[in-house]
Structure 1
Amino acid sequence: MPQARLPQPSRRGILAAGGALGLTAVLAACGSEKKDGSGKTEGGAGKSGPWSFKDDRGETAEKDATPKNIVAFTGVAAALFDYGIECKGVFGPTKTKDGKPDVQAGDMDISKLTIIGNEWGQFKIEKYAALAPDVLISTMFDDQGTLWYVPEESKDKVLKLAPSVGISVYDRQMTQPLQRIQALAESLGADVKSDKVVKAKKRFEEASERLRKVAKSRKDIKVLIGSASQDLFYVSGSNLSADLEYFKALGVNIVEPPEKAKKETGGWFENLSWENVDKYDADIIMMDNRTSALQPADLDKSKPTWQQLPAVKAGQVIPRVTEPIFSYDKCAPILEDLADAIEKAKKVG
């Protein structure tokens, strides 16, 4: 789930609000199809000729040649980087206040990137145009085709400058955006049959099976998905978020706020005051790891009600990668870490 603290609700604003949102991704196959129906695009590694890719809005981005000047949301750029595709520019959380890479930057060397905007609402159009972009790529957290971190008020100007690709992470399981990002990377020239990629996918599949087995053997362990701000504690339900939908499908026992309680956030999460933070019993708490959310270390010092939660007292608080980098390389450890936590957890909630 996304973050950036905004005033009251548009669905986009809610998602960006640093709450315990969740994300998800899209129908399997790939970019625009060849006549043989393979789903592979013409513009692969070492290929000349036109490039096209059909995105999750149903729109086809096209260029005369495979894009070289790629600008992408930071998390997408980090996923493409894992496939050997480098972006020239990024937008979204990339650099922390102390100049270090944001968690969403993955393994990228951020000193080599042009940052178009590092925070919600920032997108420097002149800086973007100066890169002579061939394509702009972002994720989508709704079914309206809204490109994440592209400001609504300037999107028309932005989208006139280059073709765009939207990858949905809304109301689907983690496996779908993984497939789509890999297909996009392949269209941009990535070798998806390389040892590195094949091994990463195998590791992800093995991690999925392990989490399934652990969740089945420890059905009694309840996992609460949280995110914190100064005034509120957010509890996410498993629907709508790509990671949480997948955890649930694998059998993880996720604490589910009632639909009525999630209504004001568009179905994503329930807002709790710090006085009511103990509303739900939980054995493990997964906390939003994004830089816009307060982290457990901050809460240990400032929120007495947090300190009294059984899972906190038991040391059973783990990070949640709220906006996963959708490469198999980055998603496998998420599943492994959750399986470890459930396997080792004491029943406290």
Structure 2
Amino acid sequence: MSLSVLSRRGFLAAGLGATLLTLAACGGDEHKPAAGSAASPSAPAAGPWSFTDDRGKKLDLPKRPERIVAQVGAAAVLWDFGVRPIAVFGPHKLKDGSKDPQIGAVDLAGVETLGNVWDEFNVEKYISLQPELLVSGMYNGDTLWYVPEKSTATIEQAAPTLGVKLYGRSIPDLIARYGEVAASLGADLNAPAVTEAKAKFEAASKALVTPEAKQLKVVFMAGGPESLWIANFKDHIDVGYVKELGLDVVVPDKVDEAGYWETLSWENADKYKADVIFVDARAQSMQVPEMMKKPTFAQLPAVKAGQVYPWRAEQRYSYQGYAEMLEELSANLAKAKKL
């Protein structure tokens, strides 16, 4: 992973900078491939298939692809829309063997796994699965997330790739875009599971910022051994969305050159005053018990008041995923008070 890519997205995959490649790889279980994507019976795969992705790349195939491989974030969204990939790559298992939240509702017993950490992608296994399409999000230009640069040419020779831009757009727009991808792959966007989840997401969005919650100053952050990071809402679209809904989010005044964060030393942990702290809950970020060992963090008013809650910083971009995230945020905000 190049330093330019690492700095662009921060530590989404590889930890908080080059020194935090801490998420251990878990060996992929061997499973029989799933039969293919779970397309609506009313949407036959016969006939030509065409789709233009967010790179402006037009994909044309003789028939709709069914043997789909997806990065875990994309796989989780497609699964919620009713499409069943045959294999996944990216963080899907934690060190204790349990599911990584990033994989969402995907049944890991029914899919092949090609890799669990950054730069781990079993190309030979991928080719052996005879994939018809690879789907991944893009955080950095047109770079497919978790597709190793050194293997890109070989991977793209095996099957077409489809990229979805995960930055510079609103959450509702991104979810809808994934819906377009899923629909092209045979998903029924009018299925009860989808329409009910959309209604739940819309209700959760409206309910997030109560009069009481509007009075709270909140900060979204992550931590590492030597530094902490304050999230910039313009680059983290989930933070941008809750700010758009009316939450009073701390805006860092000195964002790093590559965007996404302001980097602070732990000595400056009190630079921004906040009533509530939301901490990146992903495995590669320092967890709150470790942060509590930093005296400057432990003495923050929000910490002393017990108003520190998880931030699901890489929630899947589906109606189900964001309804869950917003409901959790609402529940935690309801417990907090102005300090």
* TM bucket, shorter chain: 0.7 to 0.9
Instruction: State the SS of the aligned residue for 1:117.
Output: coil
- For the structure 1 residues 251 and 224, does the alpha-carbon distance in structure 2 shift closer, same or farther, using more than 3 Å as the test? same
CA contact (8 A) 1:51 1:62 kept: yes
Comparing 334-343 with 102-111, which one deviates more in the overlay?
334-343
Amino acid at match of 2:72: T
What does 1:1-349 align with in structure 2 at a 5 Å threshold?
A: 8-10=3-5, 11-12=7-8, 14=10, 16=12, 17-19=14-16, 45-142=43-140, 144-212=141-209, 214=210, 218-258=213-253, 261-264=254-257, 266-300=258-292, 302-348=293-339
The Cα shift of 1:102 comes to: 0.7
Q: Deviations over 1:49-74 (max 9, x none)?
A: 11222111111222222212111110
- What is the alpha-carbon distance in structure 2 between the residues aligned to residue 161 and residue 7 of structure 1? 24
Instruction: State the SS of the aligned residue for 1:203.
Output: helix
Give the count of matched residue pairs.
Answer: 314
CA contact (8 A) 2:256 2:263 kept: no
The Cα shift of 1:268 comes to: 0.9
Comparing 335-344 with 195-204, which one deviates more in the overlay?
335-344
Query: Which residue is equivalent to 2:23?
Result: none
The Cα shift of 1:337 comes to: 2.0
- For the structure 1 residues 245 and 104, does the alpha-carbon distance in structure 2 shift closer, same or farther, using more than 3 Å as the test? same
Identity of aligned residues (%): 40
Q: Deviations over 1:29-86 (max 9, x none)?
A: xxxxxxxxxxxxxx97234211222111111222222212111110111111112211
- What is the alpha-carbon distance in structure 2 between the residues aligned to residue 337 and residue 267 of structure 1? 27
Q: Deviations over 1:304-344 (max 9, x none)?
A: 32221211121211111111211101111211222233333
- For the structure 1 residues 126 and 202, does the alpha-carbon distance in structure 2 shift closer, same or farther, using more than 3 Å as the test? same
- What is the alpha-carbon distance in structure 1 between the residues aligned to residue 99 and residue 116 of structure 2? 11
CA contact (8 A) 1:8 1:14 kept: no
Quote the RMSD (CA, aligned, Å). Answer: 2.0
The Cα shift of 1:227 comes to: 0.8
Contiguous gaps of at least 5 residues in structure 1: 1-5, 21-42
Amino acid at match of 1:284: V
Contiguous gaps of at least 5 residues in structure 2: 18-40
CA contact (8 A) 2:231 2:260 kept: yes
TM-score using structure 1 length = 0.84
CA contact (8 A) 2:9 2:139 kept: no
- For the structure 1 residues 218 and 104, does the alpha-carbon distance in structure 2 shift closer, same or farther, using more than 3 Å as the test? closer
Comparing 61-70 with 129-138, which one deviates more in the overlay?
61-70
The Cα shift of 1:138 comes to: 0.5
- What is the alpha-carbon distance in structure 1 between the residues aligned to residue 9 and residue 263 of structure 2? 15
CA contact (8 A) 1:225 1:235 kept: yes
Query: Which residue is equivalent to 1:36?
Result: none
- What is the alpha-carbon distance in structure 2 between the residues aligned to residue 13 and residue 283 of structure 1? 27
- What is the alpha-carbon distance in structure 1 between the residues aligned to residue 152 and residue 261 of structure 2? 27
CA contact (8 A) 1:141 1:170 kept: yes
Q: Deviations over 1:241-274 (max 9, x none)?
A: 221121111111111111xx2233x111011112
- For the structure 1 residues 136 and 47, does the alpha-carbon distance in structure 2 shift closer, same or farther, using more than 3 Å as the test? closer
CA contact (8 A) 2:8 2:259 kept: no
Query: Comparing both chains, which one has the higher relative contact order based on Cα–Cα distances under 8 Å and sequence gaps of 6 or more?
Result: 1
Amino acid at match of 1:234: W
Instruction: State the SS of the aligned residue for 1:209.
Output: helix
